[in-house]
Amino acid sequence: MTDEQHNPWTTLATRDIYQNPWIKLREDQVLNPTGGEGIYGVVSFKNKAIGIIPIDDEGYTYLIGQYRYALNEYSWEIPMGGGLIENDLLESAKRELQEETGFTAAKWTNICRLHTSNSVTDEEGFVFLAEELTAGETAFEETEDLQIKRVPFSEAVQMALNNQITDAISVAGILKAAFILGLR
């Protein structure tokens, strides 16, 4: 381990503040890198974040629109959801794609691993490229009021670049897929 990889923080005590089926919030008493005492709040997720970029045979992708309660605004995103930490990532991706778009895919590529907000959460996300699509029925969850929009993939890239898509997993996944697919 190099010096820059060494953990300069010291945890003095930790206590759980709150939890529900999706997250756990804890508060740590810490010594920061300069030796000062303080608190650090950490949100731990009980799921992996899974995003999918479906690309059909004509070069179109499918975006999901929904109102995001925490933001108090409407959001266009790639199909995504959570997969239990102990579950296979690809199986979770297949389930989410089918639930939100109705599609199944014959070709899958894991294109991205990311941390969504690593200053306050340990959430880890993964993005898959799904190709060779077959249409089917959606299976929205009771908390989902979703719209599905088919757009040329190049339009999704422009939406990410001009802030029409602001979700971190969607932006990172779309831009990484554009690079992989040669849309530079």
Domain count, the chain: 2
Q: What is the pLDDT of residue 130?
A: 98
3-7, 35-39, 58-62, 155-159: least confidently modelled range:
3-7
Tokens representing 172?
């990172």
Condensed to tens digits (0 to 9), the pLDDT of residues 103-143 reads 999 999 999 999 999 999 999 999 999 999 999 998 877 77
Same domain, 40 and 70: no
> How does residue 2 score in pLDDT terms, banded at 50, 70 and 90?
low
Same domain, 149 and 96: yes
* For residue 1, pLDDT beyond 60: no
CATH of residue 109? 3.90.79.10
Same domain, 31 and 106: no
What DSSP string runs through 31-48? Answer: E-TTS-EEEEEEEEESEE
* For residue 171, pLDDT beyond 90: yes
Same domain, 38 and 54: no
Q: Are 89 and 154 in contact (CB under 8 A)?
A: no
The whole-model pTM stands at 0.90
Same domain, 41 and 88: no
> Which conformational region is residue 94 in: left (phi greater than 0), alpha (psi within -120 to 50 degrees), or beta?
alpha
Same domain, 130 and 143: yes
- Strand order across the 37-45 sheet: 10-19, 23-31, 37-45
The boundaries of the domain holding residue 61 are 47-180
Condensed to tens digits (0 to 9), the pLDDT of residues 41-89 reads 999 999 999 999 999 999 999 999 999 999 999 999 999 999 988 899 9
The percentage of the chain sitting over the pLDDT mark of 90, rounded to a whole number, equals 88
Same domain, 172 and 161: yes
Cα Rg of the chain, angstroms: 19
Question: Minimal CA–CA distance to 74: which of 146, 171, 153, 149?
Answer: 146
Same domain, 61 and 138: yes
Same domain, 38 and 97: no
Same domain, 56 and 116: yes
Same domain, 123 and 72: yes
